[in-house]
Amino acid sequence: MLLMPLLIGINLLGALALDAFLPAFSPIAQSLEASPEQMQQTLSAFFLAFGVANLFAGPLADRWGRRPVVLGGILLNLLAFIACALVQTPGQLIAARLIQGIACSAAVSITMAMIRDVHEAQAAQEAINRLVGFLMLGPILAPLVGSLLVASVGWRGMFMALAAVSLFLLAFAVRKLPETLVPGERKALGLWNAMRGYGLALSNRRFVFLCVSFSAGFNGLFIYVLATPTFLGVHLGLAPTEYSLAFGFVIFVSSLLFLAYQRLAKGAMPLRVVGWGFTAMAGASIANLATNWVWSADITWALLPIVAYAGGLALIAAPMQVFALDVLPDQRGLTAALQATWVAMTNTAVAGLLVPLAMHSALALACASALLLFISVTAWCFSAGTAPTRPI
């Protein structure tokens, strides 16, 4: 039986690997004498490795089973955290982050397929919905953890503390993580089989639009995480030691909103739940644009639209994950990995292109977030095919 706390821990490990790193940008840059461009490359290396490695993790999980791939990813993440703590140059840090991206691809992307392996569509949506509720907090909770660790033990100590978390999670997973893919459903490993599976998925119009919709909607929130030092430090005037208070507020209110949204959505049709989620996200985005247009960004209100957006995003995530996984029911490891690759590549583009263009003002960030939401809604409207009609 799948242990939801274990799956949550495995997925939050990926959030810690990426987002806990962000508050350490300035002290790492000062310690290693790294340029802003080199620090940005540490993010790009992570996203690129995560996306590309997913293309291999999926077929491996369909061939050898989910358990060995996930355990290998956790182990590699542990080693990558230790490597990050020991680096002496910016180049070594970029290489360590590249390895960490590979590790997270193996550990994180396969867990959605594991849920779908053991649950029918309705039960899978319920399980993924519970998981997503915690995952939406990952980009908010992880920087809070990172800022607290950097303030208390320094950036090298932060990486060693995260290595200790990985070690604990690995020990727990070795004992408790089950294999969910029965031997009779495993696929032959080979380049042709993998290419054929990816070709089938990418030629499916519904799958492509679902990937575009979720990744764009997710990045409408994630752009603020990527711009954390500028958004909180420059536009809202917070000191790095105050970041944890801002993240703590966002976590608390987001949790309350998500619980309220879950009660509202229980028993509703998946398509209606997605509609409610997009309505909440659109309302939050309009409020974000209007307030930043009229006033200069201020800590007293600037975080509220972002919190509301996160709650709506949590609503749409579970149905979209299940819809996409069911495109190729016999190769869910492959489709889960391809979904994760799509999100990672979108993250890379947003981090490398959109954030530098928009980070100069809070209004520009609000416009960029609204643009990503518009792309998300448009892709959802264009998604074709039959959707499940059973209630969540």
321 lies in some domain: yes
Per-residue pLDDT reduced to its tens digit, 31-54: 999 987 788 788 888 888 887 887
391 lies in some domain: no
In the block, which residue shows the tokens 């919709």? 213
Tell me how many degrees the CA angle 195-45-346 measures, rounded to the nearest 5.
Answer: 60
79 lies in some domain: yes
Q: Which domain holds residue 280?
A: 4-382
CATH code, domain carrying 59:
1.20.1250.20
Per-residue pLDDT reduced to its tens digit, 312-359: 887 888 788 778 877 777 767 677 778 878 888 888 889 888 988 999
Contact 311, 258 (CB under 8 A): yes
CA dist list (Å): 391 to 126, 133, 319, 322: 10, 18, 10, 13
Determine the pLDDT at residue 25: 84
241 lies in some domain: yes
388 lies in some domain: no
12 lies in some domain: yes
Per-residue pLDDT reduced to its tens digit, 116-137: 777 676 666 667 667 766 666 6
91 lies in some domain: yes
Contact 341, 74 (CB under 8 A): no
390 lies in some domain: no
pLDDT of residue 174 exceeding 70: yes
Determine the pLDDT at residue 388: 43
Contact 125, 271 (CB under 8 A): no
Contact 365, 227 (CB under 8 A): yes
In total, how many domains does the chain have? 1
Which residue from 71, 56, 103, 77 is spatially nearest to 337, judged by alpha carbons? 56
